[in-house]
């Protein structure tokens, strides 16, 4: 085992503090990564504060990780020392179930192993990317293509794939009208990716204060959901709606914005239930669905797609000492559009 510097939450109610975490020795199929950048995801906040259930503390979050390979195991074939790589929301899965064999490890029937807050193969609790180094099995390490800088690529490992996967699955592209609910860390990536796919993109945000940003990111239209006329004016307009908001919203009102056979896909994960009326779905044969991240294969496809179209996350770089302030600013929607920690400051 080795000891590395990190930031961790001592409990659900305390601020994150500097500490150390242990990393296992590099096994035959493992890769040691010197972490350069780690994005701050809203999921980090939900998890460390116990919104999604009790956790084991101290807990080091972070599943938007980019860095450089510094050591590889004797049997590693996919990565080499010096490679630019990334690690996303999971670091292992059963590899045997029907979903894993189909390249959908995120839906592993045994449950994938999360990058932090999960039980690792050695029985310990996984600790995430707010640290100087991580050890990950080679099959769950992604290649960062040339042309993508490591800092703007870090949030792609969660925010990028979380929005790319449903846009890809539900066929966003030319001739399709896509709406994105919320213009935050997830939402701004959904706009960029849907635009690059060729869809007509509309942002639905509470106010118009991010209107100019939305258009610069690639949106064709921008509407305020605080204006009641928005819902009547846009009724039956969209083939696909991606809801990125991690808070309770009136799902039934948004379902009315779908056209025949349209789908509303939830990628935000609020702690509260989202009630749906049957007739909101029955009328116009609408669907209300959810989507997680993507599998390793699709995540690599997303990274290659972003490199091809010059897509990175819009970031605000912070030092480790600013993590707790950044958490409060995320909750206040005061970030454009993803905080990224410079792990050199650990």
pLDDT by residue, tens only, the chain of 346 residues: 899 999 999 999 999 999 999 999 999 999 999 999 999 999 999 999 998 889 999 999 999 999 999 999 999 999 999 999 999 999 999 999 999 999 999 999 999 999 999 998 778 899 999 999 999 999 999 999 999 999 999 999 999 999 999 999 999 999 999 999 999 999 999 999 999 999 999 999 999 999 999 999 999 999 999 998 999 999 999 999 999 998 889 999 999 999 999 999 999 888 788 999 999 999 999 999 999 999 999 999 999 999 999 999 999 999 999 999 999 999 998 999 999 999 999 9
pLDDT of residue 1: 84
Determine contact, residues 185/64, Cβ cutoff 8 Å: no
pLDDT of residue 246: 83
Helix (H), strand (E) at residue 46: helix 42-48
pLDDT of residue 333: 87
pLDDT of residue 273: 87
pLDDT of residue 269: 82
Distance of CA 77 to the CA centre of its chain: 27
237/289 Cα distance (integer angstroms) = 18
Q: Which of 269, 299, 272 is nearest to 89 (CA)?
A: 299
pLDDT of residue 200: 98
Distance of CA 138 to the CA centre of its chain: 20
Determine contact, residues 189/157, Cβ cutoff 8 Å: no
* Helix residue spans in 170-204 (DSSP H): 185-197
pLDDT of residue 149: 97
244/217 Cα distance (integer angstroms) = 16
189/287 Cα distance (integer angstroms) = 23
Tokens 């769950």, residue? 140
pLDDT of residue 337: 93
Determine contact, residues 156/313, Cβ cutoff 8 Å: yes
Tokens of 280: 């909101």
């Amino acid at each position: 085992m080795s000891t590395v510097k990190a930031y961790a939450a001592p409990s659900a109610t305390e601020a994150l503090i500097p500490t150390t975490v242990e990393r296992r020795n590099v096994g035959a199929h493992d890769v040691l990564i010197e972490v350069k950048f780690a994005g701050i995801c809203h999921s980090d906040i939900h998890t460390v504060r116990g919104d999604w259930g009790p956790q084991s503390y101290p807990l080091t979050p972070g599943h938007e990780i980019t860095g450089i390979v510094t050591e590889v195991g004797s049997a590693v074939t996919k990565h080499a020392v010096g490679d630019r790589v990334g690690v996303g929301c999971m670091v292992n899965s059963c590899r045997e179930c029907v979903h894993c064999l189909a390249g959908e490890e995120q839906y592993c029937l045994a449950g994938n192993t999360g990058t932090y807050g999960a039980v690792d193969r050695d029985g310990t609790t996984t600790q995430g990317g707010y640290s100087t180094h991580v050890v990950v099995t080679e099959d769950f390490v992604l290649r960062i293509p040339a042309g993508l800088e490591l800092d703007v690529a870090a949030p792609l490992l969660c925010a990028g794939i979380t929005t790319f996967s449903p846009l890809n699955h539900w066929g966003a592209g030319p001739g399709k009208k896509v709406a994105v609910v919320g213009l935050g860390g997830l939402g701004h990536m959904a706009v960029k990716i849907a635009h690059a796919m060729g869809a007509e993109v509309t942002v639905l945000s509470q106010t118009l204060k991010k209107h100019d940003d939305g258009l610069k990111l690639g949106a064709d239209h921008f509407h305020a959901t605080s204006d009641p006329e928005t819902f009547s004016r846009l009724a039956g307009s969209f083939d696909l709606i991606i809801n990125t908001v991690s808070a309770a919203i009136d799902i039934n009102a948004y379902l009315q914005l779908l056209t025949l056979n349209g789908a509303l896909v939830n990628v935000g994960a609020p702690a509260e239930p989202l009630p749906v009326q049957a007739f909101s779905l029955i009328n116009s044969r609408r669907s209300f669905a959810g989507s997680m991240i993507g599998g390793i294969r699709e995540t690599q496809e997303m990274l290659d797609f972003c490199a091809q179209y010059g897509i990175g996350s819009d970031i605000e770089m912070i030092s480790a000492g600013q993590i707790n302030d950044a958490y409060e600013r995320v909750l206040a929607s005061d970030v454009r559009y993803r905080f990224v920690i410079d792990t050199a400051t650990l």
